[in-house]
Amino acid sequence: MLSNIHMHTHFCDGGEAPVKYVHAALEKGLASLGFSAHAPAPFECNWALPSGRLKEYINEIQELKELYKSQIQIYLGLELDYFPDILSYSQNLLQSGPFDYFIASVHFIDNYPDGRRWTIDGPNEEFRKGFEEIFQNDALTVTRKFFEYTRKMITDLNPPVIGHIDKLKMQYRPGSFIPEDHPYFREELLKTLEVAQKAGSIVEINTRALYKNREETFYPGQQVFKEMHEMGIKVMVNSDAHLPHEITSEFINAFNALSSAGYSEHYILKDNIFQAVKLPKI
């Protein structure tokens, strides 16, 4: 049974109108799909949904939900960022519409001296600027900060789903940052996964880096799938699609890797609840 609830349309930084993703989902035989626009940011952010279009986004997804209800289950969601200094901003956003779910993801972890927020999810040049100005190129500190933030996010927001839990690794460049198999990175990641397990959150296996050829693995990487299974962590596979044809990209590899690590089921959003279903054989 296939599903994907991590998708971006032209309402934020995705490339197409929501209906195109519905058509792609029908073609691939998905049981359900969810739209997770980057939640409006409380500052200038060119990849988030503009707050002035939030209502339009909600209305459009609600209309599609109704229109296609005999063919597929459609869910209205947000990919929510974490700003510990203005936690109520995120909480108010969630209450501002009839959202079915949200995915909590860390994209920003600190501020420049002038107060501008620094993203770890932009181009490498932007990453390197903050890495130098805020962290004086100290990879250990930035790694610790990223995962500390993620753990705080889990505790503060209690998210149903955690997005790309170790996305910081996308900024790795040989010799300049810590790769995933570095003991320090691994230790921080495992500590964070433990917090996710305690919170009962589902950890998404995000396939985007793989089909965009940015990594040789997922967020998080299959290097920790065995430990995740032993910890009893619930997982779901999402593609973080920014285009309709990416809707199930690298799902087969993710299901196979989970299965090799001992998993027999994954979670999908169906009939309005997150429920475990057998890993598909595709």
For residue 110, the minimal CB distance to Zn ion (Å) is: 17
Non-local (6+) Cβ contacts of 220 within 8 A are: 165, 166, 189, 193, 203, 205, 228
Cα–Cα distance, 150 to 165 (Å, whole number): 7
Q: Which residue's CB is nearer to Zn ion, number 13 or number 227?
A: 13
Q: Per-residue x/- mask for Zn ion, residues 174 to 203, rule CB under 5 A?
A: ------------------------------
Q: Per-residue x/- mask for Zn ion, residues 14 to 43, rule CB under 5 A?
A: ------------------------------
Q: Which residue's CB is nearer to Zn ion, number 79 or number 166?
A: 79
For residue 31, the minimal CB distance to Zn ion (Å) is: 21
Which residues between 225 and 264 bind Zn ion (CB under 5 A)?
Answer: 240
Nearest position to Zn ion, beta carbon? 105
Q: Which residue's CB is nearer to Zn ion, number 64 or number 106?
A: 106
> Does residue 60 touch Zn ion according to CB under 5 A?
no
The CA-atom distances, in angstroms, between 120 and each of 63, 157, 172 are 34, 20, 11
Q: Which residue's CB is nearer to Zn ion, number 79 or number 188?
A: 79
For residue 106, the minimal CB distance to Zn ion (Å) is: 8
Non-local (6+) Cβ contacts of 152 within 8 A are: 82, 84
Which residues between 73 and 92 bind Zn ion (CB under 5 A)?
Answer: 79
Write the single-letter amino acid at 173. R
Q: Which residue's CB is nearer to Zn ion, number 43 or number 184?
A: 43
Stretch that binds Zn ion, among 57-65, 72-80, 87-95, 184-192 (CB under 5 A): 72-80
For residue 243, the minimal CB distance to Zn ion (Å) is: 13
For residue 6, the minimal CB distance to Zn ion (Å) is: 6
Q: Which residue's CB is nearer to Zn ion, number 79 or number 180?
A: 79
For residue 107, the minimal CB distance to Zn ion (Å) is: 6
Q: Which residue's CB is nearer to Zn ion, number 180 or number 240?
A: 240
Kind of pairing, strands 108-111 and 32-38?
unpaired
Largest CA distance in the chain: 55
Q: Which residue's CB is nearer to Zn ion, number 32 or number 238?
A: 238
Total residues at interface with Zn ion (CB under 5 A): 3
Which residues between 92 and 121 bind Zn ion (CB under 5 A)?
Answer: 105
Least Cα distance to 203 among 253, 166, 169, 241 occurs for 166
For residue 79, the minimal CB distance to Zn ion (Å) is: 5
Interface contacts to Zn ion, rule CB under 5 A: 79, 105, 240
